[in-house]
Structure 1
Amino acid sequence: MPDFLTFINEILWGSVLIYLLLFAGIWFTWRSGLVQFRYIRYFTRALKKSFIPQPDGLTAFQALCTSLAARVGSGNIAGVALAISMGGPGAVFWMWVTALIGMATSFAECSLAQLYKTRNRHGQFHGGPAWYMEHGLGMRWMGVLFSVFLLLSFGLVFNAVQASSVAFALAHAWDIPKWLTVSVLAALTLLVCARGLRGIARLTQWLLPLMALLWVVTGLVIIILYIDRMPHVITLIFTGAFGWQEAASGVVGYTFSQALTSGFQRGMFSNEAGMGSSPNAAATASSWPPHPAAQGIVQMIGVFVDTVIICSATAVIILVAGLPEKPLTPDEGILLTQHALVNLTGHWASGYLGVMVFVFAFVSIIANYTYAENNLVFLRLDTRRNIWLLRTGVLVMVMLGAVVSLTLVWQLADISIALMAITNLTAILLLSPVVKTIASDYLRQRKLGIKPHFDPARFPELKPHIAPGVWEGLPRE
Structure 2
Amino acid sequence: MLDVLNDLLWGKILIALLITVGVGFTVASRFVQFRYFGRMFRILGASQAFQRDKHGHLSSFQALVLSVAGRVGGGNIAGVAVAITLGGPGAVFWMWVVGLMGMATSFLECTLAQTYKQAEPDGTYRGGPAHYIARGLGKNWKWMAGLYSALLLLTFGFGFTALQSYAVATSVGDAFGVPVYYSGIALALIVGMIIFGGVKRIARVAEVLVPIMAVGYLFLTAVVLALHAERLPDVIMLIVNSAFGLEPAVGGGIGAAILMGVKRGLFSNEAGLGSAPNVAAVAYVPHPANQGVVQAFSVFIDTMIICSSTAFIILLSGVYDPAGASDVGGVALTQAALADHIGDWGRSFVSVALVLFGFSTILYNYYLGENSLNYFSTENQNLFNGFRVAIICLVCWGATTDLGTVFGFADVTMGLLALVNLVALIALFKKGLRILKDFDGQIAAGIKQPIFDAKRFSDMNVDEAAWDLEPEDIQRLKEYSDKSATSGKQAQA
Shorter-chain TM-score: which interval? Answer: over 0.9
TM-aligned CA deviation for residue 403 of structure 1: 3.5
How far apart are the structure 1 equivalents of 2:202 and 2:409? 26
TM-aligned CA deviation for residue 108 of structure 1: 0.5
Identity %: 42
Deviation digits for residues 286-325 of structure 1 (CA, Å, limit 9, x no counterpart): 01xx111011001110000011001111111111114246
> Is the 8 Å Cα contact of residues 342 and 349 (structure 1) preserved in structure 2?
yes
The equivalent residue for 1:31 is 28
> Is the 8 Å Cα contact of residues 109 and 276 (structure 1) preserved in structure 2?
yes
> Is the 8 Å Cα contact of residues 85 and 251 (structure 2) preserved in structure 1?
no
The equivalent residue for 1:10 is 7
Which amino acid in the other structure matches residue 253 of structure 2? T
The equivalent residue for 1:315 is 311
How far apart are the structure 2 equivalents of 1:168 and 1:206? 25
**How is 1:88-237 mapped onto 2 (pairs within 5 angstroms)?**
88-138=88-138, 139-237=141-239
**How is 1:347-358 mapped onto 2 (pairs within 5 angstroms)?**
347-358=344-355
> Is the 8 Å Cα contact of residues 74 and 357 (structure 1) preserved in structure 2?
yes
Specify whether residues 382 and 146 from structure 1 end up closer, same or farther in structure 2 by C-alpha distance, changes over 3 A only.
farther
> Is the 8 Å Cα contact of residues 32 and 435 (structure 1) preserved in structure 2?
no
How far apart are the structure 1 equivalents of 2:278 and 2:259? 27
Partner of residue 398 from structure 1, selected from 384, 395, 398: 395
Could you list the runs of 5+ residues in structure 2 that have no partner in the other structure? 479-493
**How is 1:63-462 mapped onto 2 (pairs within 5 angstroms)?**
63-138=63-138, 139-247=141-249, 252-287=250-285, 290-321=286-317, 322-324=319-321, 326=324, 332-380=329-377, 383-450=380-447, 451-462=449-460
Specify whether residues 327 and 285 from structure 1 end up closer, same or farther in structure 2 by C-alpha distance, changes over 3 A only.
farther
Specify whether residues 35 and 286 from structure 1 end up closer, same or farther in structure 2 by C-alpha distance, changes over 3 A only.
same
Deviation digits for residues 123-172 of structure 1 (CA, Å, limit 9, x no counterpart): 21110000011111112111110000000111111112212222222222
Deviation digits for residues 245-264 of structure 1 (CA, Å, limit 9, x no counterpart): 102xxxx5431110011011
How far apart are the structure 2 equivalents of 1:454 and 1:365? 33
Q: Is the aligned partner of 1:466 residue 2:465?
A: no
How far apart are the structure 1 equivalents of 2:446 and 2:71? 34
Specify whether residues 301 and 83 from structure 1 end up closer, same or farther in structure 2 by C-alpha distance, changes over 3 A only.
same
Which amino acid in the other structure matches residue 399 of structure 1? C
Of the structure 1 ranges 358-367 and 35-44, higher mean CA displacement relative to structure 2 is found in 35-44
Specify whether residues 440 and 116 from structure 1 end up closer, same or farther in structure 2 by C-alpha distance, changes over 3 A only.
same
SS in 1 for 2:459: coil
> Is the 8 Å Cα contact of residues 21 and 274 (structure 1) preserved in structure 2?
yes
Specify whether residues 380 and 327 from structure 1 end up closer, same or farther in structure 2 by C-alpha distance, changes over 3 A only.
farther
Deviation digits for residues 308-346 of structure 1 (CA, Å, limit 9, x no counterpart): 0011111111111142464999x9511111111111111
TM-aligned CA deviation for residue 68 of structure 1: 0.7
Of the structure 1 ranges 401-410 and 90-99, higher mean CA displacement relative to structure 2 is found in 401-410
How far apart are the structure 1 equivalents of 2:96 and 2:161? 25
> Is the 8 Å Cα contact of residues 157 and 397 (structure 1) preserved in structure 2?
no
How far apart are the structure 1 equivalents of 2:439 and 2:385? 41
TM-aligned CA deviation for residue 49 of structure 1: 4.1
SS in 2 for 1:276: coil
> Is the 8 Å Cα contact of residues 113 and 131 (structure 2) preserved in structure 1?
yes
TM-aligned CA deviation for residue 398 of structure 1: 1.9
TM-aligned CA deviation for residue 228 of structure 1: 2.7
> Is the 8 Å Cα contact of residues 291 and 454 (structure 1) preserved in structure 2?
yes
Which amino acid in the other structure matches residue 372 of structure 1? G
> Is the 8 Å Cα contact of residues 90 and 243 (structure 2) preserved in structure 1?
yes
Deviation digits for residues 426-448 of structure 1 (CA, Å, limit 9, x no counterpart): 11110111111011110111111
SS in 2 for 1:395: helix
SS in 1 for 2:273: coil
Deviation digits for residues 200-227 of structure 1 (CA, Å, limit 9, x no counterpart): 1011112101111111111111010122
How far apart are the structure 2 equivalents of 1:236 and 1:167? 34
**Cα RMSD for the two superposed structures:** 1.8
Q: Is the aligned partner of 1:43 residue 2:44?
A: no
Which amino acid in the other structure matches residue 277 of structure 1? S
> Is the 8 Å Cα contact of residues 168 and 354 (structure 2) preserved in structure 1?
yes
TM-aligned CA deviation for residue 121 of structure 1: 2.5
TM-aligned CA deviation for residue 229 of structure 1: 2.4
> Is the 8 Å Cα contact of residues 87 and 251 (structure 2) preserved in structure 1?
no
How far apart are the structure 2 equivalents of 1:306 and 1:208? 12
SS in 2 for 1:461: helix
> Is the 8 Å Cα contact of residues 84 and 90 (structure 1) preserved in structure 2?
yes
> Is the 8 Å Cα contact of residues 91 and 257 (structure 2) preserved in structure 1?
yes
TM-aligned CA deviation for residue 460 of structure 1: 4.5
How far apart are the structure 2 equivalents of 1:77 and 1:349? 13
SS in 2 for 1:286: coil
TM-aligned CA deviation for residue 48 of structure 1: 2.7
TM-aligned CA deviation for residue 473 of structure 1: 5.6
TM-aligned CA deviation for residue 76 of structure 1: 0.7
Could you list the runs of 5+ residues in structure 1 that have no partner in the other structure? none
How far apart are the structure 1 equivalents of 2:334 and 2:463? 47
How far apart are the structure 1 equivalents of 2:336 and 2:97? 27
The equivalent residue for 2:487 is none
Specify whether residues 53 and 6 from structure 1 end up closer, same or farther in structure 2 by C-alpha distance, changes over 3 A only.
farther
Specify whether residues 379 and 389 from structure 1 end up closer, same or farther in structure 2 by C-alpha distance, changes over 3 A only.
same
Specify whether residues 386 and 353 from structure 1 end up closer, same or farther in structure 2 by C-alpha distance, changes over 3 A only.
same
SS in 2 for 1:459: helix
Deviation digits for residues 52-103 of structure 1 (CA, Å, limit 9, x no counterpart): 2444421000000111111111011011111111111011111111110001
Specify whether residues 473 and 348 from structure 1 end up closer, same or farther in structure 2 by C-alpha distance, changes over 3 A only.
closer
